[in-house]
Structure 1
Amino acid sequence: MKLRVLGCSGGIGGRHLRTTSFLVDHDILIDAGTGATELSVAELQAINHIFLTHAHLDHVVALPLMIDTVANQRDKPLLVYGAPDVLDALQRHIFNWTIWPDFSQLPDAERPFLRFQPIEVGAEIRLGERRITALPVDHTVPAVGYCLNSGQGSLVFSGDTGPCEAFWQAVARVPNLRYLLIECAFSNRECSLAMLSKHMCPRLLGDELRRLNRPCEIFITHLKPGEVERTMLEIESGLGDFNLEMLQNNQLFVF
């Protein structure tokens, strides 16, 4: 499997700051933040599966525009996977005919442009030899992380989460873990805000990483604009033993 980072910022502010979206091979998106808007129409048309971590706007904002762009150019529905509460939020608050048309009913319910596919924590979706499993996390809204397993190696993406023992227990069961992409949205001076919003700061992240029971390459994502330098300096000074790197746009992972 190949994963390309389209966006990994915790906010916007210039072309280089794009919110979370990863392209897997040519046909899968993990989240649909503003990073997905970097894809061409042909690349958008090739996507058949979108796995959402949660329904916050920075992770779904490109989805309505994407399906509107390519719907008439596809011969099968775009499949959108997420926890049941995530899909319910999309249907009630976005695809509701007020904010955006309900593409799960267009052109009709039997042949829609978009299908919602509920996925429970621990459930594994098989797409050929590729396996994608929803992992437990702890955020302010219903959310999951994902494990992507090619059979030869795995990549785990935390999505948005605060401290979560169940997440690390799930990671411990991944037999061929190569890469861990984990959020750290805030610097330590905003640790109280991180805890309130169920995100990470370096202090919290350090405690969590001590639960990791195997070596892998670890990358930091979802850094807040304006806090990137401070947060990475805190990570380098306080978590140097873990050899953490900042995730970058267009970074490619092969596993």
Structure 2
Amino acid sequence: MDIRVLGCSGGIGGLEQRTTALAVDDDILIDCGTGVATLPVEELVKIDHIFLTHSHLDHIAFLPFIIDSIGDYRSSPITVHAAPETLRILRSHIFNWLIWPDFSAIPDRSRPLLRFNELRVGETRELAGRRITALPVLHSVPAIGYQLQGEEASLAFTGDTTVSANLIAALNVMDDLRYLVIETAFPNRQHDLALAARHLCPQMLFSVLDRLSGTPEVFVTHLKPAQAEEIRNELAQYRGRIRPGILANGQIFRV
């Protein structure tokens, strides 16, 4: 299983700052932020499954455009997997005929361009030998992370989260965890804001890393552009046993 970073910024601005999206092989997306815009139409057409961590716009912004752009090229619907609460938000606030058409009813409900599939914490979807399991996280809206398990190892992607004992416990039972992609959206001086928004700052990330029993390679994502350099400098000060790196557009993981 190859996992390619299409976008990993906490904001936009120029070609390099694009929001969260990961491509898994050629047929799966994890989140659907502005990073998806880098895919040409011929690659978008191959997407059969989209797994969402939560409903915030930086993680779903290009979902409506994908369906609208490639629906007529496909003979089967795209399946969106997400927590039940996330799907409810999408139906109520995005695919509601006011913001965007309801593609789960186009051209009709027996032959839709889009279908929704509920995924709860601990549940796994197996797709051609690839296992994708929903992980517990803690954010300001209902959210999940994902364990992407291939033949050789696993990558865990938190999406947006603050410190979560349940997430740490889930990571610690993965005996094949090779990579951890985890957010850090704010610098330490905005610790209170990180707490209120249920994100991480470097100090909070360090408390998570200190509680991990394994030694995965850790890559930090979702840095807010205005504070990115400050966050990088603070991350570099960590002296624990697992030194975090910074996630980059175009980076590829193989598991």
Query: Under TM normalisation by the shorter chain, which class is it?
Result: over 0.9
Write the mapping of 1:10-21 to structure 2, written as runs, cut at 5 A.
10-21=10-21
- 1:242 is matched with 242
DSSP 3-state at the match of 2:43: helix
Partner amino acid for 1:109? R
SS at 1:180 equivalent? strand
Amino acid in the other structure paired with 2:213: N
SS at match of 1:86: helix
2:63 partner SS: helix
CA contact (8 A) 1:105 1:112 kept: yes
1:139 matched residue in structure 2:
139
Residues of 1 paired with 2:76 and 2:238: CA distance? 49
Q: Which residue does 1:202 correspond to in 2?
A: 202
Is contact 1:50-1:79 (8 Å) kept?
A: yes
CA distance in 2, matches of 1:216, 1:247: 14
| Inter-partner Cα distance in structure 2 for 1:21 and 1:146 | 13
Partners of 2:49 and 2:79 within 8 A in 1: yes
Deviates more, 1:90-99 or 1:172-181: 172-181
Aligned-pair CA distance for 1:212: 0.7
Residue in structure 2 matched with residue 40 of structure 1 by the alignment:
40
8 A contact 1:133–1:146 mirrored in 2: yes
Q: What percent of counterpart residues are identical?
A: 50
Note the 1:207-226 alignment, pairs <5 A: 207-226=207-226
- Unpaired segments ≥5 residues, structure 1: none
SS of 1:107's equivalent?
A: coil
State the AA in 2 paired with 1:192: D
User: Structure 2 matches for 1:167-206, cutoff 5 A?
Assistant: 167-206=167-206
AA aligned to 2:4 is R
Give the letter aligned to residue 137 of structure 1. V
Partner in structure 1 of residue 89 of structure 2 = 89
Instruction: For 1:34 and 1:85, locate their aligned partners in 2 and report how far apart those are by CA, in whole Å.
Output: 22
Kept after mapping to 2: 8 A contact 1:206/1:239: no
1:183 maps to amino acid: E
TM-superposed deviation, 1:240: 5.6
Equivalent residue, structure 2, for 1:5: 5
- Deviation (angstroms), 1:208: 1.2
What's the CA shift string for 1:96-116, capped at 9, x where partnerless? 000000000000001100000
Residue segments in structure 2 that go unaligned for 5+ positions in a row: none
Query: Which residue is 2:154 aligned to?
Result: 154
1:180 alignment partner AA: L
Q: What residue number does 1:122 align with?
A: 122
The letter of the residue matching 1:89 is I
TM-score by length of 2: 0.99
Following TM superposition, by how much is the alpha carbon of 1:242 offset from its aligned partner in structure 2, in angstroms?
A: 2.2
Q: CA RMSD in A?
A: 0.8
Q: Contact 2:77–2:113 at 8 Å: present in 1 too?
A: yes
Does structure 2 conserve the Cα–Cα contact (< 8 Å) formed by 1:84 and 1:120? Answer: yes
2:178–2:217 Cα contact (<8 Å) kept? yes
Instruction: Give the 3-state SS of the residue equivalent to 1:29 in structure 2.
Output: strand
After the TM superposition, list the runs of 4 or more consecutive aligned residues in structure 1 that deviate by more than 4 angstroms.
none
Give distance in 1, aligned partners of 2:61 and 2:229: 26
Deviation per residue, 1:53-109 (Å, 9 max, x gap): 000000000000010000000010100000000001001000000000000000000
How far apart, in 1, do the equivalents of 2:121 and 2:140 lie?
A: 16
Residues 210, 240 of structure 2: 8 Å contact kept: no
